[in-house]
Structure 1
C-alpha cells in the first residue's frame, strides 16, 4: 500500500515537472518572439532578399526561386517568380509581365494563419501556440528554432518552424508545413533596414502599363 502511494506521488511530481517545463518552454519562446517583434517594429522600413522553396517529397515536387520584399508598415512590394505585387494599404496590385495582365483587388483581412507579405515578420503574434525547438549553428550564426502550431484546428497549416538569429533577433528562415505534405520555405539571404526608398515604391501607376489588360476583381 505504501509502495502504491509512493508511486502515485512520484507520478504526480513527474507530471508537475513536465507541466512546469512546458510552461517555461512556452514562456521562453514568447519572450524571444516578443523581442523579434519589437525589433521589427522599431524599423522605418525593411528590405529582404530571400530564397523561396516549395517542396512535396511525396509528389516529387521541388521549386526554387529568388525573391525580394520591401516592407513599410502594412505596405509592401513583393517581387517573386516574375510577378510584382504591390499593396498600398488599400488595394493589392499583381503585375504579370509575361501575360501583360494586372489583377487589382481590395484588401481583406486574411485568416489568422495566413502568412502574407505584410505579416511576414509578425504573423505569429496571433493564432498560434509555440514552443522552443532545436538551436543550431548555421554558418557561424546561432539560430534558435521555434515551432508554432495554429490554434484553429481547421487550419490548412500543420505547423510553422521559425528560425531566429539569436544575436540580431531577425528571422533567418521560415518553414510552413501544410497538411497535404507541402512545405513552403523562406530563407533570408539579406536583411536590410531603414533604406532610402523612392516615393512611388508602394504606388501603382496605371499609365506605365498602357498595353496591359487590367482585371479589377471587385
Structure 2
C-alpha cells in the first residue's frame, strides 16, 4: 500500500510547437508550469492511476483525489488517506483500522510528496521536448524526462501539458521492466474554500471513536 501511494505521489507530478529539441526549452516549459501552479492558494486534483504490463497481463485502474495547500496535503487513494499537517505524516489505513504517524525526513531531498509533484523534475533528469498531440480535442505538449542515474528503474517519464491552460494533463512513467504507469488528471480545481480540518489529524476521532490502532515509530 505504501509503495502504491509513493508511485502516485511520484506520478502525481506552453507551450508552443516552435521549441527545438534540446533541454533548455523543455525545462523552461516545466518551470513555467510549476510557477503557475505555485501561484494558486490551493489545488484540488481528481486523478486516474493506471498500471499496465502487457507481458505480465497486468492492467489496473484506480481513482484518487489529492488536495494541496503549500506544503500541506491530503491524499485519498485505494481506501487509504495520507495527511501532512506541516509537521507529521499520518497514514490512515481504513481496511486495517490502523494509523501510522511518521515524521518527514528533512534531510532526504529525494523524498517525494504531493506538495512536490510539480517540481520533482528539477533534479535528477535531462529534458527534451516531445510530441504535440491532440487528445479529445485538447492540444497536449509532451516533455520527455530521462533519469540521469543509469541504474534507475525508470526508463523515461512523459509529462503532458495542456497547451491552453498550461496545466498538467497526464504523467506517463515507463519502467525498464516494461511497466507503464499513467496518472491522468480528471479534475483540476484551484483556489477552493477549504476547511482547516482537511489538513489536520483528529486523534480523538480515530483513537476513541473508531478504535483504530495508532502507532508512531521512534
TM range (shorter): 0.7 to 0.9
94-103 vs 152-161, greater mean Cα deviation: 152-161
Task: Report Cα offsets for 1:70-125 as digits up to 9, x if no partner.
Answer: 0011111000111011111221111111110111111125564x653221122112
Is the aligned partner of 1:143 residue 2:151? Answer: no
Q: How far apart in 2 are the matches of 1:171 and 1:116? A: 17
The one of the two structures with greater contact order (alpha-carbon pairs below 8 A, sep at least 6) is: 2
Residue 164 of structure 2 is aligned with which of 167, 184, 188?
167
Is the aligned partner of 1:214 residue 2:214? Answer: yes
Partner of 2:114: 117
Structure 2 counterpart SS, 1:51: strand
Task: Report Cα offsets for 1:163-198 as digits up to 9, x if no partner.
Answer: 001111100000122232222210001100000000
- TM-score, structure 1 length as denominator? 0.84
- TM-score, structure 2 length as denominator? 0.84
Task: State the shift of 1:23 in Å.
Answer: 7.2
CA RMSD of aligned residues (A): 1.8
Q: How far apart in 2 are the matches of 1:150 and 1:165? A: 23
Is the aligned partner of 1:107 residue 2:101? Answer: no
Is the aligned partner of 1:202 residue 2:193? Answer: no
Q: How far apart in 2 are the matches of 1:71 and 1:203? A: 13
Residues 128 and 143, structure 2, Cα contact 8 Å, conserved in 1: yes
Is the aligned partner of 1:176 residue 2:173? Answer: yes
* Structure 2 runs not aligned, ≥5 long: 1-18
* Structure 1 runs not aligned, ≥5 long: 1-21
Residues 144 and 157, structure 2, Cα contact 8 Å, conserved in 1: yes
Task: Report Cα offsets for 1:139-184 as digits up to 9, x if no partner.
Answer: 1211001110112223232211100011111000001222322222
> Residues 106, 115 of structure 1: CA spacing in aligned structure 2 closer, same or farther, 3 A cutoff?
closer
Structure 2 counterpart SS, 1:200: helix
Of structures 1 and 2, the larger Rg is shown by 1
